[in-house]
A and B are shown apart, each in its own frame.
Chain A
Amino acid sequence: MSTSAIQSPSGWRQQLAAGWQKQTSVIAALIIKDFKLKASKDRFGMIWLVVDPIVMLVMMAGLWYLIGRTEMEGIPVSLYISSGLIVYTILRQNMTSVPGAIKANSGLLNYPQVKPISCIFARFLFELFMLLISACILYFVLWWSFGLAPKYNDPLRTCQAIGIAMIFGLGISLLLGVYATLYPTVGKLASLVSRPLMFLSCVIHSLHDLPPTPRHYMLYNPIVHLVETARESLFALHPFPGVSLVYPGIWAVCTLGLGVIAYYANRFKLIRE
């Protein structure tokens, strides 16, 4: 029996190490549990998770092709949309699926090791991993069948955009996870808001397509900045004036801070739920 992690540690350093070990094993167990659940409950569910962004892309790109538009800013439509779609999907997952994690694992909160925040972390990492797989498949298919590939001219900047999207997403999922568990209406509102967000975030069209006035208002949306940055760094486009990573960065840090505060304030209430 491994009691090493549980025997009362003496110094703060050991205590921190023991806590870290405990929490990582809990999160790992929760992630494996999520995988098993998806795999065993519904075989199609697992495939669907991977295929979902691809289907979305096919639909949206197909629409543009039907209208007769094959290029945006000189980039093939399917490739152009795919980049924005991935950034957007990170955030959408954190608005829809991640906040439900606490409720889904409520039976396991009986174990003192499992905290509500570990449920959120586990689901967050699980969804990211699934997205990574589907993004790889998506780009591989695009490259294999159509010979389309991004230029990757500034990978570091792409990583920055995705990293900020992840932090932003984690903040959103913490906030929603706490309040949607306490007040179910909040969760419904969030999924309602997330629906038109795809069109408000320039995912399926370019910022250049819009007239100046809506463009001005669109730039208040931090997701637009992330999507545009990801595009310009992937496809070597000219940076759109006014688009920066600082603005969404501030949003991300603020949301994460608020999320942590909300969790800290309600951490006992969540266990009682």
Chain B
Amino acid sequence: MIRFENVTKYYPTPRGRHYVLRDVSFHIPMGARMGIIGRNGAGKTTLLRLMGGVDTPNAGRIIREGHISWPLGLGAGLQPVMTGTENARFCCRIQGVPLKDIPAMVEGMREFSELGKFFDLPASTYSSGMKGRLKFAIAMAFDFDCYIIDELTSTGDASFRNKATSVFREKRARASFIKVTHSLKEVRDECNCSMVLEKGKLRYFDDVNEAADFYSRLIGGDDEDNDVRVPKRRSAGGQWAAPMVKGATPAGGIGGNAAVAGCHGNNNRFNGQTQAERKAQRQAERRAQRQAERRAQRQAERQALQQGRRAHQQTSVAPPPLVTSMGGPLRSSHRPAPMAPRPGKGQG
């Protein structure tokens, strides 16, 4: 249904290219219920925009077959000056619905969205929840083969969410979907496969539990990464990280210097220190304490995780297969990923 072939996507930024995907290939077949997880800013929305055909890759190509929805997201999609009715009509028209069918469809959307008189008011008067309702109502009026959902189902109040979930469950029986979510529970409950997006790499998981575990490990093990990466970068620029480190050793740090400076007879000094300096010292001490606490906590967590991982490996669950990577395939797994063939070997 959706096939990515060596897709690379980046955004030019003043600090060089920011890669969202690097040379990624995969194939999402019909019937997939894909949950995409990743941190904020990992590029999930961009990935969905690529899948929905809104954005285009910088290299490689994307082949889309079937009737695929636009990315159903919270952001764009409504023209603020147009009323709800006009927005709904516009969507019908651009989807190529015959003119005579449009009024009935718009009526259906009006009922489903439960916006009342606001359906005839400009979309700029809507709250974000109402916008979500309208967008969801519009999207559900069409029968797509595949829905691309960017957190839209998790909008609105409880009653609407229940309604949305039940309607969407009906749709799910006939159509596949690809959704972005932060709730691992949702992935476990609704999806039958999952992808984790992280630093330009996509990891594919057949088993959603595995994906959820991997993701929570990824978030938990975050500081392992940072320990290696961050000092390197900061020592090059080295502006505000340095005093923080000095402050951690109060004996020879800021206080000492201030005492020396105090000998030169500045009126504002008290006990050889200005108020600001004392404040800075206090803050530094507190910071050091907090860091120490955090470090201890992290270590405890890491130990717990390693134990858990050992237990995990003993039950012979393979590490997740790496679908794509920049520096060559890391396919140490003995279990192949059936839905994600390697580039060139084409499936379906």
Contact = CB atoms under 8 A, between A and B. Distances in A.
Interface residues of B, number: 34
A128 interface: no
Contacts of A105: 79
Interface stretch (B22-30, B90-98, B330-338): B90-98
B54 interface: yes
Contact of B90 (A4, A33, A109): A33
A271 interface: yes
Interface string A1-15: 111111110000000
Interface string B98-142: 100100000000000000000000000000000000000000001
B84 interface: no
Given A7-B67, A112-B53, A112-B70, A26 B81 contact: no
A114 interface: yes
Contact of A4 (B53, B70, B80, B96): B96
A110 B82 contact: no
Given A8-B66, A36-B82, A110-B71, A21 B76 contact: no
Contacts of A25: 93-94, 96
Contact of B93 (A29, A41, A109): A29
A159 to B, nearest CB: 31
B70 A2 contact: no
A105 B79 CA distance: 7
A7 B55 CA distance: 20
Given A110-B73, A112-B70, A2 B86 contact: no
Interface in A90-145: 105-114
A58 interface: no
A262 interface: no
A5 B97 CA distance: 10
A272 interface: yes
A111 B91 contact: yes
B96 to A, nearest CB: 4
Interface residues of A, number: 33
A272 B55 contact: yes
A124 to B, nearest CB: 18
Interface in B292-331: none
A109 B54 contact: yes
B146 to A, nearest CB: 12
B79 A271 contact: no
B224 interface: no
Contacts of B55: 268, 271-272
A200 interface: no
Contacts of B96: 2, 4-6, 21-22, 25
A4 B101 CA distance: 15
Interface in B62-87: 65-67, 70-71, 73, 75-83, 86
B66 A110 contact: no
Nearest to B86: A36
A260 B65 CA distance: 29
B82 A37 contact: yes
A107 B93 contact: no
Contacts of A268: 55-56
B97 A2 contact: yes
* Most A C-beta atoms less than 10 A away, residue of B54, B55, B75: B54
B65 to A, nearest CB: 5
Contacts of A33: 79, 82, 86, 90
A113 B82 contact: no
Contacts of A28: 93
A1 B97 CA distance: 6
B52 interface: yes
A28 B92 CA distance: 12
A6 B144 CA distance: 10
B82 A109 contact: no
A21 B95 CA distance: 10
Nearest to B52: A112
A105 B87 CA distance: 12
Contacts of A271: 54-56
A271 B55 CA distance: 7
A190 B94 CA distance: 32
B143 interface: yes
A265 interface: no
A154 B276 CA distance: 87
Interface string A239-273: 00000000000000000000000000000100110
Given A4-B96, A109-B76, 6 more contacts: A108-B77, A109-B54, A110-B54, A110-B75, A268-B55, A272-B55
12 contacts: A1-B97, A1-B143, A6-B95, A8-B66, A25-B93, A28-B93, A29-B89, A29-B94, A106-B76, A110-B71, A111-B77, A271-B54
Interface of A: 1-8, 21-22, 25-26, 28-29, 32-33, 36-37, 40-41, 105-114, 268, 271-272
Interface of B: 11, 52-56, 65-67, 70-71, 73, 75-83, 86, 89-91, 93-98, 101, 142-143
